[in-house]
Amino acid sequence: MRTVVVHRCHDDIEAAQIGDMLTQEGIPCQVASSVPHTVLPLTTDGLGEVRISVREDHTMRARELIELFLAEGMPMEDEQAHDHQPS
């Protein structure tokens, strides 16, 4: 079956979190980059971009979940914000 890129990002951590979230929701995915970020830890003109792909039949649901995930904020951001709130 054909795969479709549902998200592109420039951060391995974001890609891993989205990949984990999709997997937990029952959507198998592939996380791929043209260049290992240990070699080139930045993105220039799309080089080093991380792509998340899913099977074509999971495209709409995956995009909905990613949109929700990004709108709610990444868990690390929420934890950091919570750590800096006054008691």
Tens of pLDDT along 45-71?
555 688 999 999 999 999 999 999 999
Confirm whether 71 is domain-assigned: yes
Euclidean distance between CA atoms 48 and 10, whole angstroms? 7
Domain count, the chain: 1
Euclidean distance between CA atoms 8 and 33, whole angstroms? 10
Domain that holds residue 63: 3-76
The model scores a pTM over 0.75: no
CATH number of the domain residue 27 falls in: 3.30.70.790
Confirm whether 87 is domain-assigned: no
Tens of pLDDT along 18-36?
999 999 999 999 999 876 5
Euclidean distance between CA atoms 18 and 32, whole angstroms? 13
Confirm whether 22 is domain-assigned: yes
Full 3-state SS string of 17-66: HHHHHHHHCCCCEEEEECCCCCCCCCCECCECCEEEEEEHHHHHHHHHHH
